[in-house]
Every structure is written in C-alpha cells, then in structure tokens.
Amino acid sequence: MIIYTSLALIVLLTSYVAYFTYQRRHKLTCMTGMMIAMTNSMMLSISLGAILGTFIENKDITIPTIASVILGMIVGYLTGRSVSLMAALDGLTAGIMGGMMGSMLGVMLQPASVDFMIYFIDIIFVLVIMFLLRLIDEESKEKNTETSQFRKPLIANPIMLVVLLAFTPASNNIVVEAGKTATINFKPEKGSSCLQTIRSEGLGISAKLKEGSDNYINIKDLKPGTYEYACGMGMYKGTITVK
C-alpha cells in the first residue's frame, strides 16, 4: 500500500511543479527555467527509480531504469518547455541521469525494511520540492533593484548579443554624445531564447526583442555618465558611455 501512496505523492507534486512553472513562465528567466526543469525531472526519476529498484530481487534494473528515465524525460521537457527550449533540453538530460542513478541506488541498497526506505525517499523528495516551489515564487516576482537587474554573467558566450550603432562599431561599450538622440539596434541571433528582452534601469529601457531581426531603440537627451544594459536574465550585458 505504501508504494502506491508514495508514487501518487511523487506524481502529484511533480505535476504541480510543472503547472506552477507554466503559470509563471513569462516572469522566469532562461537560467531559472533550466534549474526548475532539471530539479523537477531529476527528483522524479531518482525517487521513482530508487523505489522500484528496492523491489528488484534479481538485481535486473532494466524495467526500473526504462520507466524512470522515460517519465523523467517527459517531466523535464514539459516543465522546461514553457520557459524555453534550452530549459526543456536541460530537463530531458536530467531525467536520463536521474533515472539511471535512482535505479542503481535502489538495487544496491536492498534495505531490510523497504517501507523505511520509501519513507526516507518521500521525505527528501518533499523537502526538495518545497524549496523548488519557493524558488519559482521568488524568481517570478518583479525585481526592482539595480543589483537584481544587472547580475554578473556566469559564462561568456561570443555568439549572443550584437549591438550596432550607426556611428559606432558593435561592442560591449557604446560611446554617444550627450544631449542628442541615439538609435541602437539590438539584434540577437536566432535560437538565443535567453535574449528575449533587453533592460536598463538607468536608461529606462525594458523591451522585448525579436530573434534574428532588427530591434531599434531610440534614446533621447542622455546626461553624461555610464549606463548599464543587460538581457532579461543578466548574463549578457554592456555599457553606454555618454560624453
């Protein structure tokens, strides 16, 4: 009886995370979506694989592995796809890894008390899901401070944001003349799902960008100084120096 209760709990909470993510998909960044999809998929596949593995007496983990991997991949894709394709891919791969690890864990442990092991897995699963739901709630709230809008990049990617100005070469720093109107063309590469928006609190910019096409933004009457701009998740950023 406990195994059916445990599996029902895992399925219900996993489904709720996917639904909760879908509701807030427009407020979540690509990086956050990747973390959510990976965690939801991996926790499902590990928990499912471990529970099924504890019942395999002949140590043949074929069925537990196949079942947990397939369900983990489905959950990872559905959870991440509402945010971005990159998040969906992260969820898919996490499902594969979690399913294989969970099945091996269950077979290797082979506990004397299967019920106790299932209780332990359920407790860990519920705790992680609680933190995950808290993460989704916090990351989907509006960020109002400059620090939250302009976080330092985690990685450097040479194929992302091309910033063009008629009288300035494309670069991460643009120099314009004070008191005059400047037109900037933000042109993200196709498939760069994390670059759907460009934001700058100092410049008063918050615009959605179309992939693979021109996105002209006019900036008027700038005062001398240096202004920062960044993509929606703060990974790719630059500056505009007004002289």
Domains with residue ranges and CATH for the chain: 2-139 (no CATH), 146-242 (2.60.40.420)
Flag whether pLDDT at 158 surpasses 60.
Answer: no
Task: List the single range of 46-55, 156-165, 212-221 with lowest mean pLDDT.
Answer: 156-165
Kindly indicate the confidence band of residue 162, based on its pLDDT and cuts at 50, 70 and 90.
Answer: very low
pLDDT in tens, 121-139: 889 999 999 999 999 998 8
Q: Strand, helix or coil at 138?
A: helix
Highest average pLDDT, of 22-31, 51-60, 174-183, 233-242, comes from: 22-31
Q: Are 119 and 45 in contact (CB under 8 A)?
A: no
Kindly indicate the confidence band of residue 115, based on its pLDDT and cuts at 50, 70 and 90.
Answer: confident
Spatial CA neighbour of 55 closest among 97, 6, 95: 6
Task: List the single range of 89-93, 95-99, 139-143, 184-188 with lowest mean pLDDT.
Answer: 139-143
* Residues contacting residue 230 through CB under 8 Å, at least 6 positions apart: 149, 150, 151, 198, 199, 200, 236, 237, 238
Q: Are 212 and 188 in contact (CB under 8 A)?
A: yes
Q: Are 36 and 28 in contact (CB under 8 A)?
A: yes
Q: What is the pTM of this model?
A: 0.57
The mean pLDDT value for 171-183 works out to 73
Kindly indicate the confidence band of residue 159, based on its pLDDT and cuts at 50, 70 and 90.
Answer: very low
Quote the pLDDT of residue 198: 78
Quote the pLDDT of residue 220: 75
Higher model confidence: residue 107 or residue 171?
A: 107
Quote the pLDDT of residue 14: 94
Average pLDDT of the chain, as a whole number: 77
Percentage of the residues of the chain whose pLDDT score is greater than 70:
77
* Residues contacting residue 57 through CB under 8 Å, at least 6 positions apart: none
The mean pLDDT value for 90-115 works out to 79
Quote the pLDDT of residue 146: 39
